[in-house]
Amino acid sequence: MPGLFWALFKNPDFCSGTKYRRLCTIKHWLKKNLIKPERLRGERIHQMVGDRLFEKELWHISRRSISGGLCLGLFIAFTPTIPLQMLLSAMGAIWLRVNLPIAIAACWATNPFTAVWIYFMEYRIGQALLGKLPGIFAISEFENIGAIRRLSSQATYLWTGGVILGALAAMVAYVAIQIAWCLFSRP
């Protein structure tokens, strides 16, 4: 497989006429491996959401739809909403009309194995940013007042770091999908 990537960078016409031609198209791979909307017809989720679940934009494989779904899923994954991430991601994908399966799958960037480390990093980033801001944003002076104040300050640190890391991850994912789509979707 590393030879495939080297050949793509060395020779842009590599995909045409070789045994790797099908691997070169992202669209073909996604169509083959993503869940089909027909499988959800009549299921409980279909009864809850309705026919809006089957709109073409939610299942369409395009550069905009895939990058939008990945950005949405990663942003939600990095916010401290771990029990609700898939639900929030699905509702956001339906509302923003981006790829639903990709948005839900991207939520698993934070899973039970990675959540502790990611949330610790978010807390530290939020603490570094908000601890140094003047005025109303300086939360460190309220930490010794009580448990509720301490909990609210820690939640503020976590949410601040989560939104910053989520936005950063979404931007990196958007650029990566745009580059990958250009490189691997050649005819």
Residue 2 lies in a domain: no
pLDDT tens track for 118-161: 999 999 999 888 875 554 455 555 555 566 666 677 888 899 99
**Distance of alpha carbon 21 from alpha carbon 13, whole angstroms:** 10
Residue 6 lies in a domain: no
Residue 5 lies in a domain: no
Residue 89 lies in a domain: yes
Find the range with the poorest average confidence among 23-27, 134-138, 158-162, 163-167: 134-138
Phi then psi dihedrals of residue 156, to 5 deg: -65, -45
Residue 104 lies in a domain: yes
- The amino acid that residue 182 corresponds to is C
Q: Report how many domains make up the chain.
A: 1
Residue 14 lies in a domain: no
Residue 177 lies in a domain: yes
User: Which of 60, 93, 67, 82 lies closest to 170 in space, CA to CA?
Assistant: 67
pLDDT tens track for 67-85: 999 999 999 999 998 889 9
Phi then psi dihedrals of residue 111, to 5 deg: -125, 180
Give the helix/strand (H/E) hosting 179: helix 147-184
Residue 1 lies in a domain: no
Q: Read off the tokens for 178.
A: 């745009």
pLDDT of residue 119: 92
Burial class (CB in 10 A: 0-12, 13-18, 19+), 73: buried
Could you tell me the residue range of the domain that residue 109 belongs to? 34-184
